[in-house]
């Protein structure tokens, strides 16, 4: 059995430092790895990234993250990634990592993802350059996520995104904003490999559980959804 | 009377104001009051939402029902065989 802890949308800044730490100090008793599903900061500044590093660094288990839309806001992504990486937090974007656990090799493929919507009601790569660029961004990130998942050499695969791969876990959000919350292309990428679990954040008013069309279990781990420091999943 | 444009402006202020950056707050327009509800990561953020929305829209009566998300360790795991 592999024990996976996950949380997203912690939106760290000085005012939040220390809130998660009492729970995180117990995390190595409960999990083999911690996944952070994006929106780690409020505005994506280097100083906010240092708050993330202080809170989620040095936990005693590997920590693997993707960034979210908030982490891009101030255009300081390289600085944010460096602060997190220096603190021992692996940051994925269209690539993967393998963590050795007592239950076997856990492969994690991650990407922030992007929007576009879901089957039958999705945006198309057509029309204005801005519209084509929007949909193309999602296509590219989904292709990279799928390739990263398929190329993993491990016992158990997990997909980590910020945006949602299915509409199931958005239930509770206004349907009008679903195209800004995720894309079916991410689900299709996840279904292209034998994935055991997909976790995402972003949808604060969504719900915890869903499945892809291919039957992969999806969990929305946005902090306001799970209402605890992190959720733990036992795989296998 | 609170109109749709005010509702939209408050929604955008919550996200776009540098001191807030909150996308998870629901804005509900009622007959005589604008209701803000949702969850944030600290009491300071809730107080700042109230302060800045009131400052920008002093004539709009507000009802604020914003909680701080709990951050306790989980008491059980989900089994996914």
Q: What is the edge-to-edge ordering of all strands in the sheet holding A95-101?
A: A95-101, A104-111, A156-161, A197-200, A217-220, A209-211
- The whole-angstrom separation of Cα B44 and Cα A36 is 24
- The angle at the Cα of A11, spanning A8 to A14, to the nearest 5 degrees, equals 140
Q: Is the pLDDT score of B71 beyond 80? A: yes
Q: Give the model's pLDDT for residue A201.
A: 98
Distance in Å, alpha carbon of B28 to nearest chain A alpha carbon: 12
Residue B1 has pLDDT above 80, yes or no: no
Please give the distance of CA A204 from its chain centroid, rounded to a whole number. Answer: 13
* pLDDT value at residue A130: 98
The residues pairing with A99 across neighbouring beta strands, listed in sequence order, are A106
Show the domain range for A200. 2-235
- Tokens standing for residue A114: 């992007």
pLDDT (0 to 100) of residue A176 = 95
What residues pair up with B47 in beta bridges, in sequence order?
none
Range B4-68 has CATH code 3.30.1340.30: yes
Per residue of chain A (236 residues), give pLDDT as tens: 999 999 999 999 999 999 999 999 999 999 999 999 999 999 999 999 999 999 999 999 999 999 999 999 999 999 999 999 999 999 999 999 999 999 999 999 999 999 999 999 999 999 999 999 999 999 999 999 999 999 999 999 999 999 999 999 999 999 999 999 999 999 999 999 999 999 999 999 999 999 999 999 999 999 999 999 999 999 98
Question: Any idea what the CATH number is for the domain that residue A11 is in?
Answer: 3.60.21.10
Q: Is the ipTM of this complex over 0.95?
A: no
Number of domains within chain A: 1
| B80 interaction partners in chain A (CB closer than 8 Å) | 196-197, 217, 233-235
A21 touches chain B (CB under 8 A): no
CB contact (8 A) between residue A224 and residue B39 = yes
- Residue B31 confidence (pLDDT): 87
**A72 and chain B: CB distance < 8 Å anywhere?**
no
* Opening angle at CA B26, ends A55 and A9, nearest 5: 20
CA A47 to CA A14: how far, in whole Å? 9
- Please report the pLDDT score of residue A18 as a whole number: 97
Taking any CB pair shorter than 8 Å as contact, residues of chain B touching chain A are: 18, 21, 23-24, 26, 38-39, 41-42, 44-45, 69-74, 76-81
Residue ranges per structural domain of chain B: 4-68
d(CA A25, CA A28): 7
């Amino acid at each position: 059995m592999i024990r996976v802890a996950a949380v997203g949308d912690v939106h760290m800044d000085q005012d939040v430092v220390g809130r998660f730490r009492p729970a995180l100090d117990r995390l190595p008793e409960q999990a083999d790895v911690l996944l952070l599903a994006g929106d780690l900061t409020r505005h994506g500044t280097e100083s906010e990234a240092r708050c993330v590093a202080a809170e989620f660094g040095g936990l005693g288990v590997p920590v693997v993250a993707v960034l979210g839309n908030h982490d891009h806001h101030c255009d300081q992504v390289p600085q944010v990634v460096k602060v997190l990486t220096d603190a021992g937090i692996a940051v994925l974007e269209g690539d993967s990592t393998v963590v050795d656990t007592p239950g076997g090799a856990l492969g994690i493929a991650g990407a922030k993802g992007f929007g576009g919507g879901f089957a039958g009601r999705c945006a198309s790569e057509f029309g204005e350059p801005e519209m084509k660029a929007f949909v193309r961004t999602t296509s590219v990130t989904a292709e990279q996520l799928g390739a990263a998942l398929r190329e993993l050499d491990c016992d158990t695969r997990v997909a980590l995104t910020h945006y949602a791969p299915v509409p199931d876990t958005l239930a509770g959000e206004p349907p009008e904003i679903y195209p800004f919350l995720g894309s079916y292309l991410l689900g299709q990428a996840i279904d292209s490999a034998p994935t055991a679990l997909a976790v995402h954040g972003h949808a604060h008013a969504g719900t915890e559980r869903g499945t892809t069309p291919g039957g992969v279990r999806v969990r929305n781990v946005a902090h306001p959804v799970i209402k605890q420091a992190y959720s733990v999943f036992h795989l296998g | 009377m609170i109109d749709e444009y005010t509702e939209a402006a408050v929604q955008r202020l919550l996200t776009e104001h540098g001191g807030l950056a909150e996308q998870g707050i629901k804005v509900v327009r009622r007959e005589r009051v604008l209701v803000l509800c949702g969850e944030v990561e600290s009491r300071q953020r809730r107080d700042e939402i109230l302060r800045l929305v009131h400052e920008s829209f002093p004539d709009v009566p507000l009802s604020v029902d914003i909680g701080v998300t709990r951050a306790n360790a989980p008491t059980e795991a989900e089994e996914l065989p």
